[in-house]
Every structure is written in structure tokens, then in C-alpha cells.
Amino acid sequence: MEPDQTEEMDIEVLSSMWPEDVGTQADNRFSIEKPAGDSDTLKEVDIAEKRIMADLKRLPELMNMTDQGSSQLNNLVKQWEYKQDHEVKLLREELKILTKQREEAEAKELNIIEEHNFETKEPENVPVLDDTNDLYRRFKHNKRVEIGEEFDTVAYWKQKALSLEKMLEAITERERRLIEKLNESLKTMESHSAPVEELTQNLKRAEGFLHFILQNAPIVMGHQDKDLRYLFIYNKFPTLREQDILGKTDVEIFQGVGVKESEDFKREVLETGKASKKEITFETELFGSKTFLIYVEPVYNKAREKIGINHMGMEVTDQVKKREKMVKLREDKAVRKAMKSELNKTIHITMLKLWHRMNFLLLFVAMFFIHILHEFTHLKLRSQE
């Protein structure tokens, strides 16, 4: 069959059940960030200067010695295994559907040939799509086969057979590709005990998203060993070089108010083994006056021995200023309310005193008039005598 005779035919295109991103379901299960499809959403994102300092020699040790590190690695491996299982499952399902469609197309084509073979004037044993068939040669030179108005004509079923033949070839080709892809996936799963490359890409993508999310967040976070020396730090306020921080304690790096309090708080968490948080105000030459809400948790190895701490601090300077302002406003309001209450009491007492004084004056005036009246009456009686 030549391609120029069928390229103009209207052939039903089978939609694929293959998802754009076969790893989405598995990724969500383990909270591994991955953009849909093959696109990378961070390619066009401008990530600010590097704010992370880390002792990479100690990182593998922490990943192997701590439960958190082992759990993270296990989750990554499980996520990869679930993704591979999901891909194989989808391949098998689509292969099953395509096989069923191929069988239906073959059966339908066979039925069409058998049911309408008696209507043609060609010899019975001449195949429908044989190049020696005169009717087929007439269709071959036409760019498009015209369908007769009557569906029981030989021309209509000839065209239908061509369409089904084209569809069958497409289904067979897709089936072949899926089988090859399935075999490749099975070989990959059997030959690779650790999907290092794919897991590395997942880690890089996760790190890129972490930078993208935190680049404008007022956050400082890090890891310190049991001597409170920095092995890792992410700083929103980068002012020091790597050699000025890694392997040193807070009091060796910073000077000013709040530094000793912060280190004592971290040492207390390391000694007690209980995570805690505290609000500390710093006054340093490097970044001025800032208040941080610091959360500190101890880190254990698999033998349940404390090997260091993780900490995260968020700058809350503006919130603290607003809170202090609100406290001052409440205090001023309470003072004004107390002064108003005291003034009301004073006014009440003053009014009582004035009322008593007025009553006394009225009584005095009344007694004075009574006395005058009594004297006047007495004088009048004497004059009459």
C-alpha cells in the first residue's frame, strides 16, 4: 500500500491514555517537588546570590548516621520505585487496550470482507486490497475515495476496508513501540539497583525550589555539631564568607547583645534533648538591631546519641515593634482610665463637701432669721405693755 493513496483519508485517531507526567501520583506520595512533564519551572527564575554555606564532608556522615537522613534517602528510593511500578502498570494497561483494539479491527475487517464479498463482480478469491484488482487500481489513482450515497455499495466498503487497514497499522505500530518501551523499563529496573542519576536530579530540583521559596524570606537556618560549631547555614542576610562561619561558634563569629544568650539557649536544648523556641533580640555591628524567633531541636544518631542541633530563626523585628507599640497603647489607655476614675472620685468627694458646706450655711442663715424674728416679736410685745 502506498502512502499517497491514504494520506487524504479521514481516519479516526485514537487518543492515548498515556499521562503527560507518569510520576505525579508517586511524587505526591512522598512530597518530592517535580514540575509537570519535562518542563523546568525554575529555568527562567533568577535566584539571588548564594546564601548557603555547608561542610560537604560531614553531609554524607549525617545522612548515614541519623534517622532523619536515612528516612529521607529511603523516601527518595521508594518514590523512584513507585514511579517505575506506575510506569510499567500504565504501559501494560495501554498495551492491553491496543491489543484489544487491534483484535476488534481485524475482526471487523474480516466481517466486512465476508459479508460484502458476494456483491462484488470480481472473482471470489481476489483479495480486496490486491494490486491486480481493477477497482482497487481505480481508487489508487484518486487522491480521495468518494463514498457513495448508498452504504451497501462495494466502493463504500472498499474505502472502509482501507480505513481499517490504516487504523490497524497504526495500532500495531503503537503496540510495538509500547512493548519496546515496556521491555526497556523492565531492563532498567533489573539492571539498576540505585537510580543515582534520577535521584540526583530530584534532589537538585528540590534544592532549586527551596532556594526559590526562601530567597526573599527573612530566615536563617543551620546545623551545628555537639560543640555548637557550624556545619551548615542558610542566611537571608549574607555578610560573611564561608571560612568566617563554618567550624566556628556564634560567639566566635558575632559580637554584641544577644549572641551569648542565643548560644546558651542552644546549649540548653542540646543538654535537655527537648526542642524549644525563644525570642532573642540581637545588637551586632554586622546587621544592627534585629529580633529573631529561634527554634532549636536536637539531632540524634541511630544509637540515640546527641550529635548536634538544627535551628531556624525568623526575623520578627517589625512584629515586635508593633507588639511593643500595642502594649504601650494599652498601658496608656489603662493609665487614662485610672486617672479618669480617680478624677471622678475626687469630683464626687468635692461635691459632697460643697453640699455639706451649703447645708451648714443654709442652717446658719435659717437660725439667724429665726433669732431675728424672735427678737422682733419680743420687742413688739414689750412695746405694747
Task: Domains for the chain: give ranges and CATH numbers.
Answer: 3-29+67-202 (no CATH), 212-315 (3.30.450.20)
- Is pLDDT of 291 > 70? yes
- Is pLDDT of 258 > 80? yes
Q: Which residues contact 68 (CB under 8 A, 6 or more apart)?
A: 299
Q: C-alpha cell of 346?
A: 475626687
- Is pLDDT of 4 > 70? no
- Is pLDDT of 19 > 80? no
Mean pLDDT of the region 292-303: 89
pTM for the complete prediction?
A: 0.46
Q: Within 10 A of 277 (CB to CB), how many other CB atoms are there?
A: 15
Q: What would the pLDDT profile of 118-173 be if each residue is shown by its tens digit?
A: 444 444 454 544 455 555 455 444 444 444 445 556 677 677 777 777 877 887 78
Around 356, how many Cα atoms within 13 Å sit in the side-chain half-sphere? 5
**What pLDDT is recorded for position 263?**
92
Q: What would the pLDDT profile of 46-105 be if each residue is shown by its tens digit?
A: 544 455 555 555 656 666 666 666 666 666 666 666 677 777 778 778 778 877 877 777
CA dist 135 and 154 (Å) reads 9
CA dist 241 and 250 (Å) reads 14
Q: Which residues contact 63 (CB under 8 A, 6 or more apart)?
A: 69, 70, 72, 73
In the block, which residue shows the cell 545588637?
283
Highest mean pLDDT among 7-11, 71-75, 349-353: 349-353
**What pLDDT is recorded for position 118?**
47
Output the average pLDDT for the chain.
Answer: 71
Q: What would the pLDDT profile of 189-236 be if each residue is shown by its tens digit?
A: 655 555 666 666 766 777 777 777 777 778 888 889 989 999 888 876
* 317/169: higher pLDDT: 317
Direct distance between the N- and C-terminal alpha carbons of the chain, in angstroms, rounded to an integer:
167
**What pLDDT is recorded for position 103?**
79
